[in-house]
Amino acid sequence: MTGIDDLPIRDELRGKSPYGAPQLDVPVRLNTNENPYPLPEPLVRRIAERVTEAARHLNRYPDRDAVELRTALAAYLTRTGGHPVTAAQVWAANGSNEIIQQLLQTFGGPGRTALGFEPSYSMHALISRGTGTGWISGPRGDDFTIDVAAATAEIAAHRPDVVFVCSPNNPTGTAVEAATVLALYEAAQAARADGAGALVVVDEAYGEFSHRPSLLPLIEGRPNLVVSRTMSKAFGAAGLRLGYLAADPAVVDAVQLVRLPYHLSSVTQATALAALEHTDTLLKYVEQLKAERDRLVTELRAIGCEVVTSDANFVQFGRFDDAHAAWQAILDHGVLVRDNGVPGWLRVTAGTPAENDAFLDAVRTLFKERS
């Protein structure tokens, strides 16, 4: 049988594995940071209306610049992000993964490097590899925060072209302070002797779940700072595949150089616009999930777990001598959580109250068996 490595694939892809959270058919799935609430029926009907209208024009290519959608996203950010943003500062793509890919195609690539502080979202490294960008793994402290002195030293030593700051960070849930982002930004600009500076990407996929305000206002006067967002989490629309960025209009112009023409289908644009019309309803679910996230933290600590303070819709908990065995034991109780490969720790996504109860029961049983 022909294997991947028998094919003439690029050397740097040899022996590597694709991104792959297990998609197992179990009663309670709390492993991919999805929103547990299906879209409300009035929104489902509005999507059907908008998509029906879009279908009447599917003989034509979509709006290549997605102007109506970018205008609606800019209005959403202006309303919720603590900073006024125009459509010219917003760009949208098929999930924030594609946003990150377009940024790396534009600002990374062969001969260039990207740096992130790990453990963090594994796709930052994987998309770097996929775009031929070298990957540098920067440090985090034992409490999973970013130590400014250690981080800026790393930036000065490696002079990366792109720096990823994930806030709140996946898988640890850790939010990053604005002062830390500013210090990293300054270090990233100073490290580049060519004067061109480095791009700093603040990945705020979980921004809406944070106890803290968005880092969006930091884009003001900083043309090399990008905030990326998604409708996969807070908007409960992971199946839609809609991510977006806010930055200086020059960044939006720059990614036009690599985006595929008509990358965002008319159906996607219509669906996202319908969802944005229902922002207030969807943000009420976010409030429920934040309360459930806080309950998970409190109850896990009461059970005797160590828990990393979380600003996201998930919680990293431990510690286990054998995290994979603990993952399996929880799965045996019908609850799927995530083993991100962080030694001693697992991650659980906040689900509905009933799902969270099932998860907490499984962990309680596990801890009783241990003691």
Sites of contact with ligand PMP (CB under 6 A): 33, 95-97, 121, 166, 170, 203, 205, 230, 232, 238, 243
Shortest separation between residue 117's beta carbon and ligand PMP, angstroms: 12
Tokens 């991104």 sit at which residue? Answer: 19
Shortest separation between residue 243's beta carbon and ligand PMP, angstroms: 4
Burial class (CB in 10 A: 0-12, 13-18, 19+), 78: middle
Rg (CA), the chain: 21
Specify the residue, 96 or 128, whose C-beta has the smaller distance to ligand PMP. 96
Find the residue with minimal CB distance to ligand PMP.
95
- Give the count of alpha carbons within 13 A of 298, CB side only: 7
**115 phi and psi, to 5 degrees?**
-125, 135
Shortest separation between residue 194's beta carbon and ligand PMP, angstroms: 29
DSSP symbols for 116-132: EESSS-HHHHHHHHHTT
Shortest separation between residue 371's beta carbon and ligand PMP, angstroms: 33
Residues paired with residue 294 on neighbouring β-strands, in sequence order: none
Shortest separation between residue 32's beta carbon and ligand PMP, angstroms: 7
- Strand pairing of 335-336 and 28-29? parallel
Shortest separation between residue 211's beta carbon and ligand PMP, angstroms: 17
Specify the residue, 237 or 335, whose C-beta has the smaller distance to ligand PMP. 237
Asked if residue 313 lies in contact with residue 35, where contact means CB atoms within 8 angstroms, the answer is: yes
DSSP helix/strand/coil, 187: helix
DSSP symbols for 259-283: SPTT-S-HHHHHHHHHHHHTHHHHH
Specify the residue, 95 or 318, whose C-beta has the smaller distance to ligand PMP. 95
93, 107, 347, 113: which is closest to 250 by C-alpha?
107
Specify the residue, 189 or 265, whose C-beta has the smaller distance to ligand PMP. 265
Shortest separation between residue 119's beta carbon and ligand PMP, angstroms: 11
- Strand pairing of 225-230 and 335-336? unpaired
Specify the residue, 106 or 366, whose C-beta has the smaller distance to ligand PMP. 106
Specify the residue, 31 or 89, whose C-beta has the smaller distance to ligand PMP. 31
Specify the residue, 180 or 329, whose C-beta has the smaller distance to ligand PMP. 180
What are the tokens at 118? 């790990």
Rounded-to-integer distance, Cα 137 and Cα 110, Å: 17
Shortest separation between residue 124's beta carbon and ligand PMP, angstroms: 8
Specify the residue, 214 or 232, whose C-beta has the smaller distance to ligand PMP. 232
Residues paired with residue 317 on neighbouring β-strands, in sequence order: 307, 346
- Give the count of alpha carbons within 13 A of 61, CB side only: 9
Specify the residue, 160 or 243, whose C-beta has the smaller distance to ligand PMP. 243
Shortest separation between residue 361's beta carbon and ligand PMP, angstroms: 26
Specify the residue, 126 or 329, whose C-beta has the smaller distance to ligand PMP. 126
Shortest separation between residue 103's beta carbon and ligand PMP, angstroms: 12
Asked if residue 222 lies in contact with residue 185, where contact means CB atoms within 8 angstroms, the answer is: yes
- Give the count of alpha carbons within 13 A of 138, CB side only: 31
Rounded-to-integer distance, Cα 109 and Cα 111, Å: 6
